[in-house]
Amino acid sequence: MMRPHNHFEAASNWYISLFFIGLLLFSPLAEAQSVNIDPLVQALRGRQGALVYENAKDAAGNVISRTSNGKSYRYVFDEENRLTEVWEGSAKKIEMAYGYAGNRIRKEVDLGAGRKIRTTYLGSVQIHESVVNGTVTERSVTTHIAAPTGKFLTSTRGTLGNNQQVPLRGPAAGDHYFINDHLGSQVRELDASGNVVSTSVYEPYGQLFIQGQSGSSGRQQNYGYTGQELDEFGGIMYYGARFFDPAAGRFMSADKMLADAKNAMAWNPTMYVLGNPIGLNDPTGNVPGMAGMHNGYDKFVSSGGAYA
């Protein structure tokens, strides 16, 4: 059993019981045909039909290995419990760097055959992305613009009151719009004429349940469930303070904050939104809050190119 963080130190045996009860009752594995938890290494194993899931943690509570759908991943964390590398088998697939405030500022994804995706962030917003094949840049940049209540707003020429930004330009051909649900998840993709080109439906903890696309105009988007970024390998999502694993319905690192000492579910340091993914979301990865704060639409602007 990992040594709890400071605000968990006063908890007694009932905390340990609640931790594992929460793993079973409030996760996508709750209805699994078989689930096994090893309290010594915090390992979680489950089988549901053909789906087999397994993970293991280090002493700090970070998921350091994970197997899902026959693929094995290894995760490397730094001394501040920030995920820095993702390995698939013996190949390093993702490398990340963080700024002084703890936000991810750079990500490089190895696609194989010399092709890499390099992404730069400002705060939690993607501001530049390029695909490199050797020395040739195939694509730059993807820009996200949002309604005042939305997540993205990066191409600007000034500011209004209340931190609202002014888009650099008006609508143009090739722009795509994304409609969000009450959790902030992108559920509809529209073209510049307002036609629906793709639809996404998510399971309660974020696994993609249905995705439909009209023709070839829909684009594969990294932002989906609750508006957070889905990394290219392994299906984990970046929530700012921590990464989230939709397959297990759990964060991959322990929470550094106690959201609500009076709520038993808050004492599980990897619990997602207190076991209520329908009514709550967690934009920062630290504190769950009421859903409905991210209604609106996001606009996607692509510069085109071979990877568009």
Res. 155: pLDDT tops 70? no
Mean pLDDT to the nearest integer, 22-42: 52
Is residue 1 domain-resident? no
pLDDT in tens, 121-134: 887 777 777 778 76
The tokens describing 24, both together, are 């079973």
Is 164 part of a structural domain of the chain?
yes
Q: In Å, how far are 109, 156, 233 from 128, measured between CA atoms?
A: 14, 14, 20
- DSSP H/E element including 21: helix 13-25
| pTM above threshold 0.85 | no
In a domain, 89, yes or no: yes
Residue 97, domain member (yes or no): yes
Residue 308 lies in a domain: no
Question: Which structure tokens are listed for 79?
Answer: 């001394």
* Nearby residues of 296 by Cβ (< 8 Å), 6 or more positions away: 146, 147, 148, 149, 150, 180
- Taking 50 as the threshold, does the pLDDT of residue 308 lie above it? no
- Encode pLDDT of 209-226 as tens digits: 887 776 555 555 678 899
pLDDT over threshold 50, residue 294: no
Tokens of 192: 């510049």
Q: 191 lies in a domain?
A: yes
205: its two tokens: 């903890």
Classify residue 307: in a domain, yes or no. no
170-192 tens-digit pLDDT: 566 667 778 888 898 989 888 87
Q: Which residue has the tokens 């993709």?
A: 189
**Residue 145: CATH number of its domain:** 2.180.10.10
Report the SS3 class of residue 27. coil
What total of structural domains would you count in the chain? Answer: 1
Domain extent for 105 = 6-302
DSSP letter assigned to residue 25: H
How far is it, in rounded angstroms, from Cα 132 to Cα 118?
Answer: 8
